Structure 1
């Protein structure tokens, strides 16, 4: 063993632990199976090794490590493409699909987490070698864990909107949530099913920026998918009248969310909607757009 062995091992261990902490099935419900997780663990190990060996390579004036980091970035972009393609293929078999915006957000997250692993391994090894202390590396690893956890959390919908449960109602054949028209249901049988299983929620944006984000079709589809995954969905293929919908009131920016859950639990539904992620591709900062000269 040489002077770099223990710093590299600590860096790799810190990076792998960071990846394992971030590899969990959350509201996105992905990854859910062992083989899918093995792929991400393997890529996390590669990222940890690259981050850990970068500093020793530079100290030995072997700058090929920079080339390897560049190649790793290319490989991790391929991981993003792989996740996108996989989820798009699976989305066609979902009763309530995620939508392209949600899928792109998931793929972006899995790419960025590999970069967080590289960062953790890099700074851990750097601290170990820079201060010539195991404890310095350990402290830096712990700090990196908290940074990664903070960056991983992201924003939630409850930060942007007020959410309330509103009973659904029919006016003739028209289905309404408050004064927001959802769709037309002419068959009395379907109307009875909707009144029995349906639930309505009203989302009111807190700010003008939140109003634009909530109007995004991808953001609304993500809400419907999360509720349907968390509570189930009362429908099958070929039943367009039983499709969950989220419709916008163009006058004030409110959104009426209509769902048909198998588990009709209002409190749980409110939590699920509130914890739905705010999609990065749906975020708009209109309030800042006019402030630049």
Structure 2
């Protein structure tokens, strides 16, 4: 009650602005990074509420320090632990649902998604923290101008942090093009490259010739080739391809050892090749497969970009 009595109308405006900015930051990242969040109302509500909690903690931190209540700042450590628990819970949840998907995401992709869930809450917290800090620094001059500057600073912080944490996508490191399907006996070829010899029945050959789709991923350089050779990365690519259009039967992803090209071929439910190509291009590059240029250039590494 004593803390409430110490708050005046300006303090309430400042904290409320910080909470609003932090919550908006979480909502914005839900829309921008749509692949990392299931498109269900309950999941959206959970993440928005956690973003609200993170924004609240970030908003009260600066006023608490200015009033000498350093104990209140320790709640930030509690928030960090809570957000880590969110990451663990999301990893376990996605792992248990693997057998229900068209194809598995893979542990590497699940780990990346879980870390994204955690980091988005930090964006909300830091956005609100920066917003309140700027307002507090300028409040003595003009409150309205201070709030406007705080909102601008919070928006800038949100954009900068998001760009810093946002990784590349498959479309940035390779060219994705439609592949020409060819069946020779029981063997499947795409653009003349061998894929599999599992087409031993007339029905399977007929399905691929009539309804099958294929895509060819061509790395733009040697570093990209190494990234695409990572098994977890290829599993994530296949998951996004079949997730967006569904899979009726069969799904293959093969690597051409001579050219480094990746071949994806399957029989979709929704025969929309352009949609599948777009999904592949937007597949994120996983942290464990990403190659850093300056390290690749160092001694013992590749000299290619």
Structure 2 length as normaliser, TM-score? 0.86
Q: Which has the higher contact order (CA 8 A, sep 6+)?
A: 1
Q: Contact 1:246 / 1:257 at 8 angstroms: preserved in 2? A: yes
1:105 alignment counterpart:
112
**Helix, strand or coil: the match of 2:105?**
coil
1:227 alignment counterpart:
241
2:27 alignment counterpart:
20
Q: How much does 1:58 deviate?
A: 1.5
Q: Contact 1:24 / 1:31 at 8 angstroms: preserved in 2? A: no
> How does 1:142-221 map onto structure 2 within 5 Å?
142-151=155-164, 153-184=166-197, 185-221=199-235
Q: How much does 1:148 deviate?
A: 4.6
2:287 alignment counterpart:
280
Q: Contact 2:123 / 2:158 at 8 angstroms: preserved in 1? A: no
Distance 2:170 2:284 in 1: 6
Residues 148-184 of structure 1: per-residue CA shift (max 9 Å, x gap):
5534653221110011112111233221223432221
The 1:199–1:109 alpha-carbon spacing in structure 2 relative to 1, beyond 3 Å, is: same
RMSD: 2.1
Structure 1 length as normaliser, TM-score? 0.90
- Report the count of equivalent residues: 286
Distance 2:196 2:207 in 1: 15
Distance 2:279 2:293 in 1: 27
Q: How much does 1:25 deviate?
A: 8.4
Residue in structure 2 matching 1:253, options 232, 245, 260: 260
> How does 1:63-82 map onto structure 2 within 5 Å?
63-82=70-89
Q: Contact 1:96 / 1:225 at 8 angstroms: preserved in 2? A: yes
**Helix, strand or coil: the match of 1:259?**
strand
**Helix, strand or coil: the match of 1:124?**
helix
Residues 217-257 of structure 1: per-residue CA shift (max 9 Å, x gap):
2211222221222222113xxxxxx1x12111122311111
Distance 2:64 2:296 in 1: 44
Q: How much does 1:205 deviate?
A: 0.5
Residues 5-57 of structure 1: per-residue CA shift (max 9 Å, x gap):
22111111100111111223866373222222222122111111111111111
**Helix, strand or coil: the match of 1:280?**
coil
**Helix, strand or coil: the match of 2:31?**
coil
Q: How much does 1:64 deviate?
A: 2.0
Distance 1:37 1:200 in 2: 33
5+ residue gaps in structure 1? 236-241
